[in-house]
Amino acid sequence: MDPFADSFRRLGRAEKQLYSLRDEMQKWLNRKGYTFSIRRNAKTGQYVAKIGEIQAIPEDWAITATEVVHHLRAALDNAIHHLSIAHSGQAIKGSEFPVFQNKKLFGDQGKRKIRGVSPACQAIIEAAQPFQYHAPDDHKLWVLHELSNSEK
């Protein structure tokens, strides 16, 4: 079995949910900016036309977006779990994919999270950190990290 199968399944699930959400959002945006209805008043026999406000954004969009974030973050953590097993022969308690904006914090805290991973993989993970880029706040890993933490 592919050791990264869990990560790929989570990525696939996130992708399906993201495309589904995108399609729902596009349909919602393509609607008219208002609701319109004509009903016949049963008592008077007259027809009544109503023009209403834009409907609220569906509440389940937030849940779907949260699930996408969860699956993306979990895919990274699953990968670290399997990289730890591949290198050290066992799952390492407390391991996860580290995401840091600060190099010192990565050295103090982040490296501990990947201690069971091979040195070559650790170097790749460090090179991908937000602190390595000119705008760490806008780095995709940092955005994912912040979204993941805000949903908990």
Residue 12 DSSP symbol: H
Q: What would the mean pLDDT of 42-54 be, rounded to a whole number?
A: 83
- The per-type count for the chain, helices as H runs and strands as E runs, is 6, 2
Percent of the chain exceeding pLDDT 90 equals 73
Angle at 131 (CA atoms; ends 126, 135), nearest 5 degrees: 140
Residue 124 has pLDDT above 90, yes or no: yes
Selected residue with higher pLDDT from 127 and 50? 127
Selected residue with higher pLDDT from 131 and 42? 131
Asked if residues 36 and 51 have their Cβ atoms less than 8 Å apart, the reply is: yes
Confidence of residue 46 (pLDDT cuts 50, 70, 90): confident
